Amino acid sequence: MTKPSSYLTALSRSGAGTAALLYLVLFVAYASVERSALSVSAFSDLINNASPLAIAAAGGTLIVLLRSFDLSVAGVISLVNVILASYPLEDATGAGISLCLALAIGALVGLVNGVLVAYGGFQSIAVTLATMIMTGGLALVILDAPGGSVAEWLSETLTDTLGPVPISGLVLLAVVIVWAVIRKTDFGVSLYAVGQDEHAAALSGIKVQRTRCLAFVIAGALYGLSGYMLSAQTATGNPTAGNSLLLLTFAAIALGGTSFRGGTGGLTGSIIGAASLMLLQKLLFSIGVQSFYIGLLQGVVMILAVSLMNVGEWFNVRKA
């Protein structure tokens, strides 16, 4: 096998490859309809809009890889958003502390989830449903109506561009790089092993419970980061900020090529999947699709995209 073709098969086999292809198709369609699409500000808007969902989807991917569910994404995002808007800390140092705070809150919720699911043996959908409700309620306690205001430095900088590159894009890139590193570690390998076959993984010495718990913690931290980015985008607090992201997160994960049966896929694909979802909205707007039917088309695209990925997977399996 020559290098390019084996590289291509690897690409087509990875979820990220098909996700990127989908995004490319959508972007070409969008750019052909909307003349201003290729400008720096338009592209930066796209990335800014997609970044909260993308990072949330990245976090969720870790859990889906383990064949579990994590519904607490909605609650963590709302909670972080509300805290950042109610207690804004100015300047770069303030933003740094706020970042640590956001990550810590997310990781804490993730730890609760992880302990109960991995060590307690409870079902992830049930536990995370309960933690989602509780964190959402906590957000309402802290801020009972939209208001507050996020630190200016934070909202100005994170929606700005560094030259032609949007800063939120840099954050996404950082997440991808960190993921690439993690993937090579023991934890990363264990993650995939446990997702594909838990019994076999356990028998080969992998600490299943620890892997699972750690996955929830990291996912929680990523949700915290997503709330951070959302706060920068909207510049204010909203106690129900995370609710609309719940189902979209899983849609993005599916579009990103991660299988819900666990063991295949990755963060990069989910990030691209999230970007595709947001781009689809803009594309439909530009084409002038009548508002009512935008939902229809979104649903159809989701089904088609995942079906095609499954068909592709089927072909790959047959070839192998």
Partner 1 sequence: MSSVQIKSPDSAQADAVNDAPPDTATADTRKSSRLSRETLNIAGVFLLCVLAMLAARWINPNAGGYQQLETILVLCSFLVVVAFGQGLVVLIGGLDLSIPSVITLGGILTAVWVGADGGIVKTCAVLAACAGVGVLNGLGIGIFKVPAFIMTLAMGIIVYSLCLGATGGSPNGVSPKALTWLMSGRTAGIPVIVIFTVIGAVIAYLVQSRTRFGIRLYAMGSNPTAARFAGLHTLRLTLMTYALCGLLAGVTGMLLVGYSNGATLRMGEPYLLPSVAAVVIGGSAISGGRGSFLGTLAGALLLTILDMIISSLGFSQGWRTVISGAIILFAILLQHEGAMDYLRSLKGRNSTT
Partner 2 sequence: MKRALQFNASPLHKKMLAMLAGVIAPLVIGGVSMPAHAAPKDHYIVYLSLSYSGNAWQSEAANLVKALAKTPPYDKMVELREVISGTDVQAQISAYESIIAAGADGVVSFPVSPTALNRTVKRGCEKGTLFYMYDATVTEPCAYNVSYITAGFGENTAQALVNELHGKGKIFLSRGVPGNSVDKRHYDGAMSVFKKYPGIQIVAEYYGYWDDRTTQQETAKALAAHPDVEGIWAQAGENGALKALIAANHKLIPMTGENSNGFRLGLANPDFQAKGLRGVSSGSPPAAAGLAFKLLMEQLQGKRDMKVHNIEYALPWVPADKVKVCEGDKVTSECNVLAEGKVPDSFVTEVFDPVLLPEISLQSATDGTPTPGATIQPLPEDAARAAANEPGINCAKCDAPPGLYHLTKTKAFDAQ
Does 86 interact with partner 2 (rule: CB under 8 A)? no
Nearer to partner 1, 35 or 261 (CB): 261
CA distances for 78 relative to 100, 104, 133, 300, angstroms = 16, 14, 11, 29
237 forms beta bridges with 147
The only residue of 2, 181, 203, 291 in contact with partner 2, by rule CB under 8 A: 291
Nearer to partner 2, 58 or 230 (CB): 230
The only residue of 93, 204, 281, 310 in contact with partner 2, by rule CB under 8 A: 281
Query: With 0-12 CB in 10 A as exposed, 13-18 as middle and 19+ as buried, what is 244?
Result: exposed
Q: Per CB under 8 A, which of residues 109..148 are in contact with partner 2?
A: 140, 143-147
Calculate the dihedral angle through the C-alpha atoms of 217, 221, 226, 232, rounding to the nearest 10 degrees. Answer: 160
C-alpha triplet 81, 62, 104: angle, nearest 5°: 35
Nearer to partner 2, 68 or 249 (CB): 249
Phi and psi at residue 72, to the nearest 5°: -75, 0
The only residue of 224, 239, 256, 269 in contact with partner 2, by rule CB under 8 A: 239
Q: How far is the CB of 38 from partner 1 (least distance, A)?
A: 30
**Helices within 208-293 (DSSP H only):** 208-234, 245-255, 267-287
User: How far is the C-alpha of 275 from the C-alpha of 269, rounded, in Å?
Assistant: 10
Q: How far is the CB of 120 from partner 1 (least distance, A)?
A: 7
Residue type, 288: G
User: How far is the C-alpha of 227 from the C-alpha of 83, rounded, in Å?
Assistant: 10
Question: Binding residues for partner 1, per CB under 8 A?
Answer: 66-69, 116-127, 129-134, 136-142, 144, 197-200, 202-203, 205-210, 212, 239, 247, 250-251, 254, 259-262, 290, 292-296, 298-300, 302-303, 306-307, 310-311
Q: How far is the CB of 296 from partner 2 (least distance, A)?
A: 12
The only residue of 285, 306, 312, 313 in contact with partner 2, by rule CB under 8 A: 285
Helix or strand or coil: residue 266? coil
Encoded tokens for 124: 């992830």
Q: How far is the CB of 14 from partner 2 (least distance, A)?
A: 28
Q: Per CB under 8 A, which of residues 198..237 are in contact with partner 2?
A: 230, 233-237
With beta carbons less than 8 A apart as the criterion, state whether 272 and 19 touch.
Answer: yes
> CB count, 10 Å around CB of 21?
18
Does 152 interact with partner 2 (rule: CB under 8 A)? no
List of residues contacting partner 2 (CB under 8 A): 34, 36, 42, 45, 49, 52-53, 140, 143-147, 149, 155, 159, 230, 233-241, 243-245, 248, 278, 281-282, 285-286, 288, 290-292, 294-295
